[in-house]
Amino acid sequence: MSSQTSGSNALWGSRFDGGPSDALAALSRSVHFDWRLASYDIAGTRAHIKTLQSAGYLTVAEHEKLDRSLVELNDRVAQGSFVAKPTDEDVHSALERGLIEIAGVELGGKVRAGRSRNDQIATLIRTYLLDQATVIGNLVTELVEILVTRAEENLGVAMPGRTHFQHAQPVALSHHLLAHAWPLVRDLDRLKDWRVRASLSPYGAGALAGNTLGLDPNIVARELGLAGPTQNSIDATASRDVVAEFAFIASLIGINLSRFSEEIIIWASAEFDYIKLHDSYSTGSSIMPQKKNPDIAELARGKSGRLIGDLTGLLATLKGLPLAYNRDLQEDKEPVFDMVDTLTVLLPAFNGMVATLEFNRDRLEQLAPAGFSLATDVAEWLVKKKVSFRDAHDITGRMVSYCEQHGLELHEVPDSDMAAIAPELTPDVRDVLTVGGSIKARAGAGGTALPRVLEQIAALRKIAPKHEG
The single-letter DSSP state of residue 20 is: P
Q: Taking Cα atoms as reference points, which of 367, 266, 330, 345 lies closest to residue 300?
A: 345
Give CA separation, 142 vs 94, 185, 221, 244, 467, in Å: 38, 11, 31, 25, 10
Confirm if 207 and 115 have CB atoms less than 8 A apart: no
Confirm if 266 and 186 have CB atoms less than 8 A apart: no
Question: Shortest distance, CB of residue 95 to ligand ARG, whole angstroms?
Answer: 12
Which residues is 358 bridged to in the sheet? Answer: 276
Which of the following is catalytic: 285, 388, 401, 406? 285
Confirm if 427 and 415 have CB atoms less than 8 A apart: yes
Question: Shortest distance, CB of residue 448 to ligand ARG, whole angstroms?
Answer: 50
Residue 233 sits in the site that holds ligand ARG (CB under 6 A): no
Within residues 113-152, the interface with ligand ARG by CB under 6 A covers 117-118, 121
The burial of 196, by beta-carbon neighbours within 10 Å (0-12 exposed, 13-18 middle, 19 or more buried), is given as exposed
What's the CA gap between 91 and 73, in Å, rounded? Answer: 13
Per-residue binding letters, 82-101, with ligand ARG (x by CB under 6 A): --------x-----------
What's the CA gap between 231 and 222, in Å, rounded? Answer: 15
In the bound state with ligand ARG, the residue whose beta carbon lies nearer, of 53 and 330, is 330
Question: Shortest distance, CB of residue 28 to ligand ARG, whole angstroms?
Answer: 8
Question: Shortest distance, CB of residue 24 to ligand ARG, whole angstroms?
Answer: 12
In the bound state with ligand ARG, the residue whose beta carbon lies nearer, of 28 and 138, is 28
**164 a catalytic residue:** yes
In the bound state with ligand ARG, the residue whose beta carbon lies nearer, of 262 and 334, is 334
Per-residue binding letters, 305-334, with ligand ARG (x by CB under 6 A): --------------------x-x-xx----
Q: What share of the chain is helix, strand, coil (3-state, %, to 5)?
A: 65, 5, 30
Q: Strand 228-229 to strand 200-201: parallel, antiparallel, or no bridges (unpaired)?
A: parallel
Question: Shortest distance, CB of residue 99 to ligand ARG, whole angstroms?
Answer: 17
Which of the following is catalytic: 164, 280, 286, 416? 164
Question: Shortest distance, CB of residue 216 to ligand ARG, whole angstroms?
Answer: 23
What's the CA gap between 312 and 335, in Å, rounded? Answer: 9
Q: Which of 30, 45, 132, 282 is in the footprint of ligand ARG by CB under 6 A?
A: 30
In the bound state with ligand ARG, the residue whose beta carbon lies nearer, of 88 and 223, is 88
In the bound state with ligand ARG, the residue whose beta carbon lies nearer, of 29 and 167, is 29
What is the SS3 assignment for 276-334?
A: ECCHHHCECCCCCCCCCECHHHHHHHHHHHHHHHHHHHHHHHHCCCCCCCCHHHHHHHH
Residue 448 sits in the site that holds ligand ARG (CB under 6 A): no
Confirm if 275 and 260 have CB atoms less than 8 A apart: no
**406 a catalytic residue:** no
Q: Who contacts 263 (Cβ-Cβ below 8 Å, separation ≥6)?
A: none
In the bound state with ligand ARG, the residue whose beta carbon lies nearer, of 91 and 374, is 91
In the bound state with ligand ARG, the residue whose beta carbon lies nearer, of 121 and 265, is 121
Question: Shortest distance, CB of residue 329 to ligand ARG, whole angstroms?
Answer: 5
Interface ranges with ligand ARG (CB under 6 A): 30, 90, 117-118, 121, 325, 327, 329-330
Active site residues per annotation: 164, 285
